[in-house]
Amino acid sequence: MQLRCGSRTLDLAQPLVMGILNVTPDSFSDGGKFIGPAQALEHAQRMIEAGARIIDVGGESTRPGAADVSVAEEIRRVVPIIEALAAQTSAIISIDTSKAGVMTAAVAAGATLINDVRALQEPGALEAASRTDAAVCLMHMQGQPRTMQHEPRYDDVVGEVTAFLEQRVQACQAAGIAQDRLVLDPGIGFGKRLEHNLALLAHLPALGRSGLPLLVGVSRKSMFQALLGRPVEQRLAGGLAVGTAAVLAGAAILRVHDVAETVDAVKVAQALRAAGYSLT
Ligand code: 7PJ
């Protein structure tokens, strides 16, 4: 499986690790630690040295209750970082945004993957993405970040998430975004209770039947509070367990904070896959 990211082609035969680079003052799990451009770049370099092939640059926190950020402020936060990363590294640069203006500015600065938790549903986003040649990650979310964890409800979470993503794939196709530019993501923790997250993770192969690569992000998420009673700084083992299971279920990209540990887990899972690992 391959993913076209601008002029680059990512080979997804081996699962890849995407390192999270928050350039927000309010990200829930690293609390703005990487907000200064110098520290952000240093952290990105460390993740790349640890084996991250993609760096996901985010200037707007999507944690529950986070404040809104203007387009200008988001661009001010992410563009200098993207330009520096594009000049200094060969990693694929991903822009984590839902705003059309930020997508356009980020791709002009060197991003070749648009990671949108709103799946290009914001005004102008579909058109902005289609005017670029960047890849696009389409994620499912129920509700909006501020309120999404209040009362998430589904009759059939796997069916509903699959149908939503299929509809967004069709919208992309209609807008001229080719299939080889698309990645799908069930959106773990985005308007989902623990049972919904577990059902989606248990049924990843159903989502994978679209034939498109899957991205999974569980790093430090509150599902590990619900499952293990662990605070944010004690969720690594849980994240590695889910990451391993996700790779065995066919996930192509894991979005994580802890790159070195995840790279090891992915290597183990991939070795099992290559040795014929099967659930049946
Ligand atoms: C995700 C994301 C995810 C994708 C965030 C956090 C919240 N993008 N952005 N998938 N999560 N594609 O990192 O906990 O799961 S922000």
Q: What is the pLDDT of residues 178-214, one digit of tens each?
A: 999 999 999 999 999 999 999 999 999 999 999 999 9
The Cα 64–Cα 1 span in angstroms is 34
Residue 33, pLDDT score: 56
For 255, which DSSP code?
A: E
Whole-angstrom CA distances from 276 to 60, 132, 135, 252, 269 are 41, 39, 30, 17, 11
Residue 29, pLDDT score: 54
Q: Which residues of the chain have pLDDT under 70?
A: 26-35, 63-65
Provide the terminal-to-terminal Cα distance of the chain, rounded to the nearest Å: 23
Residue 31, pLDDT score: 55
267 is an active site residue: no
Separation of CA 275 and ligand 1 centre (Å): 31
Q: At 181, phi and psi to the nearest 5?
A: -105, 5
Q: Which atom of ligand 1 is nearest to the CA of 221?
A: 14
Contact in structure between 141 and 168 (CB atoms under 8 Å): no
Q: Which of 118, 168, 192, 255 is catalytic?
A: 255
Strands 8-11 and 2-5: antiparallel
The greatest distance separating any two alpha carbons of the chain, rounded to the nearest whole angstrom, comes to 52
Q: Which residues contact 86 (CB under 8 A, 6 or more apart)?
A: 93, 109, 110, 111
For 181, which DSSP code?
A: G
Residue from 94, 185, 225, 232 to probe ligand 1 pocket by mutation (most atoms less than 8 Å from CB)? 185
**Residues enclosing ligand 1, CB less than 6 A?**
20, 62-63, 96, 115, 117, 137, 139, 185, 187-188, 215, 217, 221, 255
- Token pair, residue 214, equals 């899957």
Homologous superfamily (CATH) of 16-273 is Dihydropteroate synthase-like (3.20.20.20)
Q: Which of 99, 168, 221, 235 is catalytic?
A: 221
Q: With H, G, I as helix, E, B as strand and everything else as coil, classify residue 233.
A: helix
For ligand 1, atom 15, name the residue with the nearest CA.
217
- Which pTM value belongs to this model? 0.96
- Token pair, residue 106, equals 């980020």
